[in-house]
Amino acid sequence: MAALIPPQVTIKLSENQNVNKDGEQGKITYGEPVTGSTTRITITVTKSPYPTYQGSTANFYRYRHALETRGTKPFKLLAVHGDENSPINIAHDIGQYITSVSAYYWKDKSKEAILVEVVTTNHLGAHTYYYGKKDGNIWTPLSGNPGPQPTPLVPDDLEKKLDDLVCQHYKAVTLDLSSKNSKTYTNDDNKNNKYCCSYHNPNGDKNDGRIAVNKGSVSCKVTNHDPSQAHPSSAPFFKHEITSDGGLRVSAIKYYPNSSGPRRRINIPGLENFQNGSLFLYVFHCTGEAPILIYVEGGGHTVDKRWFKKPASSNGKDENWEALDDLNNITLGEQPNAIDCEKYKRLVEELKCSNHKDCPLSQNGPPQPPPPVGEKNLEEDKREDGEPEDDEEVTSTDSSWDLKTILGPIFGTGAPVGGGAYAGWHVYTRYFLDALVRLI
């Protein structure tokens, strides 16, 4: 009995559009003739979000083409036709025995595949090949050569490749707010403070990226104190800046919770629609990689000059950040970023970082000691007219206004008449007659 020869199959990516009718996940089949035979085989197309654990918030979709029998039966690849039914040049895999072909799409461009994955099988086992779209119908191996990956890329690494392709083709960038990434581009020895993708900045050593990173701090403002970055009561931040040039937009905002491992995605309502103008994200960390607070400047009226905080828990690898309206009266962007102590105290309370100190002094500086009693009396005696204040009550019956009391020490001392009389008369007219006239 002759051995069964696996059929030769043409994979048609245009069939993916029929799955879209079924929503985010779906499955269809299409028939393909077997070369040299009148029979037809059935190809199953399965659509799923990618990475799958992100569910409906995923940035990409994957369409997997395989034989109907659970997708493990090999077939011989005759050709792969793209979304417009023209063959795409992945010549290395043509004629190979494969188990599946998958196409990946950005969610905002659901009719344009940006990456094709081919899983081959032979006596050496299964291998995976990846081809990224370059220009038009030109596809190139992601690694730069047609060599296979002995094991498939883990979802996080493959997603990063997809992010790079979106940046290359659609001017949509993915921000990495990890503390490690920010420190790399603000290192004093690193003159390159820009990043985005491997296409625009292939080696990470050119200043050609679309996202600029700078560092700064928020200080508490104290009278007679210079609120410099070295101030012990300052909260450092990293500022990620995007200046739109002809429709640059945000594809995603992510960070690594650890130095490696799966990334987490930050969802800020309204920010995904940013497309024109400038966008500044002031990112505050504590001691780890994860951002704690984000202040947004630009990006549309729903997010401009607003604060957002990290949620208490995440939805899988997604985080839906919450607006923090209690801090909206704290605005950043002007240099130096100095705020009064009461506002700074609220900021530090939200950060919950033990290494952030409170203001050393109140906003108005240290309290001034009261003047000595003698100085106070001296000031009162300096009144030009000697007139009492409006709320002082004057009475002629007060014993302190007795004529003998006033003139006695002067005339009773035996002092010369001229000087003593004049002095006595001056005191008498100033303190007695004047008061008497007032009463009249």
Over pLDDT 70: what percentage of the chain?
68
Dihedral sign, Cα of residue 191, residue 196, residue 197, residue 199: negative
**What pLDDT was estimated at residue 271?**
83
Is the pLDDT at 246 greater than 70, yes or no? Answer: no
Residue 87: which residues within 8 A CB-CB, separation 6 or more?
A: 79, 80, 81
**What pLDDT was estimated at residue 371?**
54
As a whole number, mean pLDDT of residues 323-328 equals 93
Residue 244: which residues within 8 A CB-CB, separation 6 or more?
A: 274, 275, 276, 277, 278, 279
Q: What's phi and psi for 182, nearest 5 deg?
A: -65, -40
* DSSP-derived pairing of the beta strands 249-255 and 172-176: parallel
Is the pLDDT at 433 greater than 70, yes or no? Answer: no
pTM (2 d.p.): 0.74
Residue 214: which residues within 8 A CB-CB, separation 6 or more?
A: 186, 193, 238, 239, 241
pLDDT range class, residue 389, cuts 50, 70, 90: very low
Q: What is the pLDDT of residues 404-427, one digit of tens each?
A: 444 454 444 444 445 444 445 454
Choose between 158 and 224: higher pLDDT.
158
Residues 329 and 197 in one domain: yes
As a whole number, mean pLDDT of residues 138-167 equals 82
d(CA 438, CA 132): 101
Is the pLDDT at 347 greater than 90, yes or no? Answer: yes
Give 66-87 as a DSSP string: EETTTTTS-EEEEEEE-TTS-B
Is the pLDDT at 165 greater than 90, yes or no? Answer: yes
Domain boundary residue, one of 168, 183, 198? 168
Residues 191 and 160 in one domain: no
Q: What's phi and psi for 390, nearest 5 deg?
A: -60, -30
Choose between 93 and 132: higher pLDDT.
132
Residue 424 belongs to domain spanning: 395-440
Residues 292 and 421 in one domain: no
Residues 24 and 147 in one domain: yes
Residue 1 placed within a domain: no
Give 98-150 as a DSSP string: EEEEEEEEETT-TTSEEEEEEEEEETTEEEEEEEEEEETTEEEETTSSSPPBS
**What pLDDT was estimated at residue 313?**
78
As a whole number, mean pLDDT of residues 106-124 equals 90
**What pLDDT was estimated at residue 125?**
74
Q: 434 vs 391, 395, 423, 427, 439, CA distance in Å?
A: 17, 12, 16, 10, 9
Residues 400 and 317 in one domain: no
Residues 338 and 414 in one domain: no
Residues 127 and 238 in one domain: no
Domain boundary residue, one of 134, 168, 202? 168
Residue 318 placed within a domain: yes
How much is the mean pLDDT over the chain? 77
Domain boundary residue, one of 109, 138, 168? 168
Which residues on adjacent β-strands are paired with residue 208? none
As a whole number, mean pLDDT of residues 346-363 equals 78
Residues 49 and 161 in one domain: yes
Choose between 392 and 242: higher pLDDT.
242
Q: Is omega for the bond preceding 51 within 30 degrees of 0, making it cis?
A: yes
C-alpha closest to that of 61 among 127, 109, 132, 11: 109
Which residues on adjacent β-strands are paired with residue 195? 211
Residue 423 placed within a domain: yes
- Ranking 13-17, 21-25, 73-77, 140-144 by mean pLDDT, the lowest is 21-25
Residues 319 and 341 in one domain: yes
d(CA 359, CA 221): 8
Residues 152 and 187 in one domain: no
Whether 260 and 276 have beta carbons less than 8 Å apart is answered as no
Angle at 281 between CA 278 and CA 283, to 5 degrees: 165
Residues 155 and 179 in one domain: no
Over pLDDT 90: what percentage of the chain?
31
Question: What's the number of domains the chain is made of?
Answer: 3
Choose between 401 and 51: higher pLDDT.
51
As a whole number, mean pLDDT of residues 69-98 equals 82
d(CA 105, CA 49): 10
pLDDT range class, residue 180, cuts 50, 70, 90: very high
Residues 147 and 198 in one domain: no
Is the pLDDT at 161 greater than 50, yes or no? Answer: yes
Give 258-305 as a DSSP string: SSSS--EEEE-TTGGG--SSEEEEEEEE-SSSSEEEEEEEES-TTTTT
Which residues on adjacent β-strands are paired with residue 49? 61
pLDDT range class, residue 127, cuts 50, 70, 90: confident
**What pLDDT was estimated at residue 240?**
96
pLDDT range class, residue 364, cuts 50, 70, 90: very low
C-alpha closest to that of 61 among 167, 175, 141, 166: 166
Is the pLDDT at 113 greater than 80, yes or no? Answer: yes
Tell me which DSSP letter residue 238 carries: E
**What pLDDT was estimated at residue 213?**
95
Residue 383 placed within a domain: no
Q: Which stretch, 4-8, 182-186, 408-412, has highest mean pLDDT?
A: 182-186
Whether 156 and 262 have beta carbons less than 8 Å apart is answered as yes
Whether 45 and 65 have beta carbons less than 8 Å apart is answered as yes
Is the pLDDT at 92 greater than 50, yes or no? Answer: yes
Whether 60 and 174 have beta carbons less than 8 Å apart is answered as no
Choose between 37 and 79: higher pLDDT.
79
